[in-house]
Structure 1
Amino acid sequence: MSVIFLIVGLILLVKGADYFVDGSSSIAKRLNIPSIVIGLTLVAFGTSAPELAVSISGSINEANGIVFGNVVGSNIVNILFILGLSAFITPINIKTKTIFKEMPFAILTTIAMMLMVMDGLINGDPVSTISRSEGWILLLFFAIYLYSMVEITISDNEESQEQIPIMPIAKSIFFTISGLIAIIWGADLVVKGAIEIATIMGLSETVIGLTIVAIGTSLPELITSVMAAKKGENDIAVGNIVGSCIFNVLLVLGISGVIYPINISPENYSDLWILLVSMLIVVPMMYTSKKISRCEGILMIFGYVGYTAFIIARTALS
């Protein structure tokens, strides 16, 4: 039954996010909000909605392992598997702005998260905690990041790459409300299913969060980036992944920490280092020839397979 809860929950999360974004974007367009603002906020939020909903539900249920594993695991999935698969489908050309602005900011947010998490190691505490005050700090940086993105994009006179259809107002409201309900319901089912699976299999919540939940909640990023890569829309393929990593750390982890302090076991510090190293390895790939080749994409996919094997081995030995 727990597996059914998990699968149904993930379906509700993905479809709910689509409905919510379509409905709310249509309403925003009717209110004459610029397309670029909608693209950078509501549409960007859509691909991170599953991670956000699951982490909020996990925080309410005090399932710290799922919250932490969901955020870190989703970012590792994004950087190694989704970006690698997109590059394998077709080599991805990288804009200079991504190399020198967006990716470094994603790395900085990861380092900030690591410093917050590893304060327990510095103080000699058996468990590290992301406190409510640290959650508020992450949310503050998210607000600054979002504002700066809108300002930079508007000043550069860039057009939104999102085609936002305007639906009848009744349909827009129905899509928005039903999508939000599906997201909330789906997140509750995913968290309950994940906790039950972890209990039955004797695994920690963090392991389930790093693997099954992380992959499931990353489905919107996977679909968006793979389809964009097939169409040759490199900016969307890469921007979706990098932006999602920033959203996950600043918004998802920030809100989760504010709701309930997140306790992290020292054994999971290695996952943070793997995430940081993965990002640092990808940057030179982006810099050389300003593209990520198919061979590099294959290496990234194998890197994710290796990481999954590492988690399984670590669990077996513990």
Structure 2
Amino acid sequence: MLLNLLLLVVGFVALVKGADFFVDGAASLAKVFRVPSLIIGLTIVAMGTSAPELAVSSTAALAGSNEIAISNVVGSNMFNLLVVLGACALFCTVPGGKEIFHRDFPVSIIATVVVFLFTLSSAVFSGNILGHNMADQAGVIGRVEGIVLLVFFVAYMVWLIKAAKENKTEESDEKLMPVWKCALFILGGLVAIVIGGNLVVNSAKEIARALGMTETLIGLTVVAFGTSLPELVTSVIAATKKETGLAVGNVIGSNIFNLLLILGVSASLHPVAVNFASFYDLIILIIMMITTYFFLRSKRELNRPEGIIMILIYVAQVAFAIVR
């Protein structure tokens, strides 16, 4: 137990310091290439923090055992949306730019709706629309749907690249890091984030087992929290450094990556089964995304009270998931 507690502390230190370097490198890279930090957050930062999920989902898909892919994606997206964005709002007001309102947030909502419709159509055609148990299969996201998601992802990336070329920022007067140093900070920070995240999850699982928690409860809490730690720590560090574009871009970008790239790759390699628990969670996620969108749009920002509400909504959702 003492060793696991020590590893837990070491993991959190690695996470925080890794995110610190990662954010500094990404923010400097944005200034070097005169690209809005939001674009860097939506691409490099989002891709980096989603890399562990992509590796795990791809490996599981190749082994033909990716049934949990959809629940991981939905759970991670709900955590990113409510907890990560909510936690950022606790540290500073999170502004929402016109790109977020007109491009990125709508894309993430549409991507979630598309995944839900794929599942719904599969459930209707297979006659599984009414399930007696949450673990029953509702539908399948097949290879064709996976390829469609990947095509959407490529189209979105092309859109972002075009936007980056059209929206060059002004040259910075401050002394900037050389590109090689930015890359070193980003890669080194990402390695520390991944190692720290693994240490935290593995040691927390052992501590939870020692305290008598069930495997299901560990999966719903420790593992779900652990897989989203990179997004949480990176966005919170970015928010404390006033790099709100990186923070918001990381959250929205990671959600889009999870839905279009990770789920697309998983389904393309092997059809992804969707149970009724994930089917209903997708509905809840869509409702939460629309609610958060209006929170962000109402005042063009997210403030501390709204952040607290978002975190409490997530706690209520987890409680519902545990008892259902």
Q: TM-score, normalised by structure 1?
A: 0.75
CA contact (8 A) 2:66 2:266 kept: no
Q: Deviations over 1:44-99 (max 9, x none)?
A: 31011122112112223433343112111110001111111111222212212212
Which one-letter code corresponds to 1:116 in the other structure?
A: F
Is 2:164 the counterpart of 1:153?
yes
Task: Measure the CA separation in 2 of the matches of 1:271 and 1:69.
Answer: 8
Secondary structure of the residue that 2:242 maps to in structure 1? coil
Q: What count of residue pairs does the alignment treat as equivalent? A: 287
Equivalent residue for 1:135? 146
Q: Offset of 1:256 from its aligned partner?
A: 0.8
Gaps of 5+ in 1: none
Structure 2 distance, partners of 1:213, 1:224, is 18
Separation of aligned partners in 2, 1:217 and 1:159 = 36
- Single out whichever of 127-136 and 88-97 deviates more from structure 2: 88-97
Q: Secondary structure at the match of 2:305?
A: helix
How big is each residue's C-alpha offset from its partner over 1:122-171, in whole Å with a ceiling of 9 and x where there is no partner?
Answer: 2213631111111111111111100110101211224799x775448xx9
1:228-275: CA deviation from partner (whole Å, max 9, x where unpaired): 221222222211111111111000101111111111112321110111
Q: Distance in 2 between matches of 1:212 and 1:303?
A: 18
Structure 2: 5+ residue stretches without partners: 129-135
Pairs within 5 Å for 1:97-108: 97-108=99-110
The one of 224, 242, 251 equivalent to 1:214 is: 224
Cα 1:155–1:216 shift into 2, 3 Å: same
The answer to whether the 8 A contact 1:74-1:214 is kept is yes
Q: Distance in 2 between matches of 1:42 and 1:292?
A: 24
Judged with a 3 Å threshold, the aligned counterparts in structure 2 of structure 1 residues 158 and 110 are, in CA distance, closer, same or farther, namely farther
Closer/same/farther in 2, CA of residues 287 and 134 from structure 1, 3 Å limit: same
Counterpart in the other structure of 2:124: 122
- Measured in 1, the distance between the counterparts of 2:63 and 2:15 equals 21
Q: CA shift at 1:211, angstroms?
A: 4.2
Stretch moving more, 112-121 or 289-298: 112-121
CA contact (8 A) 2:46 2:249 kept: no
Contact 2:46–2:251 (CA under 8 A) maintained in structure 1: no
2: CA distance, partners of 1:149 / 1:268: 30
If the length of structure 2 is used for normalisation, what is the TM-score?
Answer: 0.73
3-state SS of paired residue (2:299): helix
Question: Which residue identity lines up with residue 141 of structure 1 in the other structure?
Answer: F
Q: Within the alignment, does 1:256 sit opposite 2:266 as a pair?
A: yes
Using the alignment, how far apart are the partners of 2:297 and 2:276 within structure 1?
A: 33
For residue 311 of structure 1, what is the aligned residue in structure 2? 321
Distance 1:85 1:104, change over 3 A: same
Runs (4+) of structure 1 exceeding 6 A deviation are none
| 1:160/1:278 CA distance change after superposition, 3 Å | farther
Aligned to 2:79: 77
| Alignment-mate amino acid for residue 49 of structure 2 | T
For 2:257 and 2:170, the matched residues in 1 are separated by: 22
Q: Which moved more, 1:301-310 or 1:94-103?
A: 94-103
Contact kept? 2:90, 2:307, Cα under 8 Å: yes
Alignment of 1:220-231 (within 5 A): 220-231=230-241
> Quick one: which amino acid aligns to residue 283 of structure 2?
W
Aligned residue runs from structure 1 range 172-191, under 5 A: none
Hey, what's the Cα distance between the residues in 2 that align with 1:75 and 1:296?
18
C-alpha separation in 2, matches of 1:284 and 1:56: 34
Distance 2:81 2:48 in 1: 18
